[in-house]
């Protein structure tokens, strides 16, 4: 099993450009998450999904959109990138809610917005 995979691994954007980050998991997990990790800060939840076709806002959702059209995929979109969105983005999944279930993280996408 590949676990949680993310594409791309690195990306450089100019301010105002758009892009989509793809997350895929092969563990048949219901819940999927997008986090960002910035220097000197803990991981912060952007959006999450509790099942195919559902999405919800996390702690820092502004400037991002997500879609979960298939159970195994969770997409994170930036419609108009800003320098403040320079960060490392991690996708994670869990069988059910994080209250009782372990989260599995992908390798991350390092995004730089110029």
Contact residues: another protein, CB under 8 A: 4, 31, 33, 40-45, 48, 50, 56, 58-59, 90, 92, 96-100, 102-108
Residue 9 Cβ vs another protein, minimum distance, rounded to whole Å: 9
Residue 16 Cβ vs another protein, minimum distance, rounded to whole Å: 28
Residue 58 Cβ vs another protein, minimum distance, rounded to whole Å: 6
Task: Tell me the C-alpha distance between 48 and 14, whole Å.
Answer: 26
Task: Tell me the C-alpha distance between 32 and 90, whole Å.
Answer: 11
3: left (phi over 0), alpha (psi -120 to 50) or beta: left
Task: Tell me the C-alpha distance between 70 and 3, whole Å.
Answer: 16
Extract the tokens encoding 6. Answer: 């993310």
Based on CB atoms, which residue is closest to another protein, 51 or 80? 51
Residue 102 Cβ vs another protein, minimum distance, rounded to whole Å: 5
Based on CB atoms, which residue is closest to another protein, 19 or 60? 60
């Amino acid at each position: 099993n590949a676990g949680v995979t993310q594409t791309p691994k690195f990306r450089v954007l100019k301010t105002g450009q758009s892009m989509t980050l793809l997350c895929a998991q092969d563990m048949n997990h219901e819940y999927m998450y997008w986090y960002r990790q910035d220097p000197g800060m803990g991981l912060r939840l952007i959006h999450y999904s509790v099942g195919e076709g559902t999405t919800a806002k996390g702690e820092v959702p502004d400037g991002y959109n997500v879609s979960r059209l298939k159970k195994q995929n969770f997409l994170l979109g930036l419609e108009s990138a800003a320098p403040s969105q320079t960060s490392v983005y991690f996708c994670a999944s869990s069988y059910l809610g994080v209250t009782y279930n372990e989260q599995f993280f992908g390798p991350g996408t390092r995004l730089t917005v110029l």
